[in-house]
Chains A and B, each alone.
Chain A
């Protein structure tokens, strides 16, 4: 049972990394629906780099770098060119889906490097995730940088008038978000399940995106949501540990996705949005045009 919990926490961390970066992105007013693509590219780049060099740290570095570059590309389209953020995000996702299938294909199979040691039985990435949640919360709500990020996402014109460079803040956030998405993909491909297959994420990025809405843009609620989904995901892979012989394993694999839909419905209902959903950045998804 402890093993199951430890694996669940590691799975949670992957959701957490990706969603935390997206949360910061969205707090600044930029929506990146191509999160899954950034994770795929980050994971694939990390896997290829690690297998080629035999070094896990270099693998992680590659994953982080590629994620950051793709975040920057999304920023260029949505901030500088003021393009449709959904078009850019979808473009990144399909680009990553197509190219990683081709680029990663020669590396199909196990990574073949040693496993990353646990700390007291827990993945070190989970501990890193906890630290990141605390750091993001502190920066967002207790520092002037956080105030600048939140004001860029709420009312960019007012932020600009008060001396904040909305473009610079948004670029900072999309690069941070992309880097964390790359880290999430690399953690998946180098630690959680170090075996490369095409389109290996199968929806993790989209669940992470849903978690941001679920979190009401609060890092601590995001941590709770990611943990819940990590446990649920792990149980869907090993249902026999809780309910042996009940339903096909394929039916269990549907569960995390099936549960996400009613959660999305609940958080979208008017009473919920009125009471709890006021944290949604007012300018989310809207390009900012300097007046």
Chain B
């Protein structure tokens, strides 16, 4: 692009450093927050009070802080579900479907038997949730690896299939329908409610440990190297002896398992829930925050932790401000969209360097003045 005597060009960056990744992440988030001011334009007390309502509820009230922690665990586990396949260059947008499958699998355990000791049943529920999510994720990974079926399309189809599968199970006389028959799943008995550690569900420890382990996996192990190599260049990885089927299957199995664990956390470990609620679709939508978290964190699981906490607080605070200030429904959804938009913009800054170059004045060729010889 030319402006007067200057030319603006984008030149690819060779290898952006980690500080640059942090900088672009901060730019994306700040820009999204600035743009979100249009969401609060109808707030009677002004913009500042709207922002204050969002942040003060999520991060400075006891109730809000607990809710933020609980939601950030859910978002973190969803983030890993997207992040692991992403490191192999694959897009797992099937988070909602895998969350729903994990929820159905977890609640199948108490549905089938309550005769075992509660501790064992809780472990079985956690394992079933992970397996449920992994099977659904692994199915997409297998199809991708074996037949080159587009994983975006398959996982999206699975989202819809499991959305309706949950409706079938919990609504209109479905097997999992609760006693109140109000279109939601049965409630867990108190003995099967997840144990708490320091006032938060034990799944918080799982989520934090997983962040460290995942980054170690990618940086220090042969499997992590294979996944990253495949993500960078599948033909080169294949040439180097890496089997695509194995990589695709492993990343989707692992990703699906994390989505299943997110389901267990959200529906069986958060105090006051302990069932598949009628508005389960909302939690499927919320899982998409995992996509944007992983993208902004540029594939770092540990880096995703503060971002997930921030997004958890923002999504909760936005919903709170929406009620308090009588804003239009969907502020939290709009924020998700804005974050995605600013991420794509920051991605350009991450990939390219903007270069201004002064265009040299056109060199005028001397006009021949001499007469031709002869």
A206 to B157 CA separation, bound complex (whole angstroms): 8
In the bound assembly, the distance between CA atoms of A94 and B341 in angstroms comes to: 8
Which stretch, A145-153, A216-224, A261-269, touches the partner chain B? A261-269
Interface size, chain B (Cβ < 8 Å): 49
Stretch at the interface among A53-61, A99-107, A123-131, A132-140: A99-107
A95 an interface residue at 8 Å Cβ cutoff? yes
Surface stretch bound by B, among A1-9, A83-91, A170-178, A179-187? A83-91
Does the CB pair A81–B91 fall under 8 Å? no
Docked pose: A90 CA to B39 CA in angstroms = 22
Q: Is the CB of A250 within 8 A of B161?
A: no
Q: Are A105 and B329 in contact (CB under 8 A)?
A: yes
Q: How far is the CA of A102 from the CA of B338 in the complex (A)?
A: 11
Given contacts A87-B347, A90-B93, A250-B167, contact A96 B337 (CB under 8 A): yes
Interface of A, secondary structure class, is: helix
How far is the CB of A102 from the nearest CB of chain B, in Å?
A: 4
Complex contact A94–B340 (CB within 8 A): yes
Is B243 positioned at the interface, with any CB of A under 8 Å from its CB?
no
A200 lies within 8 A of chain B by Cβ: no
A288 close to B (CB within 8 Å): no
- CB-nearest residue of chain B relative to A86? B91
Chain B residues in 8 Å Cβ range of A98: 330, 333-338, 340
Residue numbers in A under 8 Å from B39 (CB-CB)? 102
If A251-B164, A253-B164, A265-B147 touch, does A33 touch B152 (CB 8 Å cutoff)?
A: yes
Give Cα A210 to B152, complex, Å.
Answer: 10
Contact partner of A203 (CB less than 8 A), chosen from B91, B159, B168, B328, is B159
A237 to nearest B CB, angstroms? 12
Asked whether any CB of chain B lies closer than 8 Å to the CB of A238, the reply is no
Contact of B165 with A254 in the complex, beta carbons under 8 Å: yes
Residues of A within 8 A of B148 (CB): 268
Give the CA-CA distance A261 to B340 in the complex, in Å.
28
Query: Could you tell me if B10 and A265 are in contact, using CB atoms closer than 8 angstroms?
Result: no
With a cutoff of 8 Å between Cβ atoms, the chain A residues found around residue B352 in the complex are 81
A36 to B174, CA, bound (A): 31
Interface centre among A84, A98, A268 (most CB of B within 10 A): A98
Check if A99 sits within 8 Å of B337, measured CB to CB: yes
Chosen A-B contacts, 7 in total, with CB atoms closer than 8 Å, are A86-B91, A91-B343, A98-B335, A198-B333, A203-B156, A203-B159, A248-B174
Q: Which residues of A contact B (CB under 8 A)?
A: 33, 77, 81, 83-84, 86-88, 90-91, 94-99, 101-103, 105-106, 198-199, 202-203, 206-207, 209-210, 213, 248, 250-251, 253-254, 257-258, 260-261, 264-265, 268-269
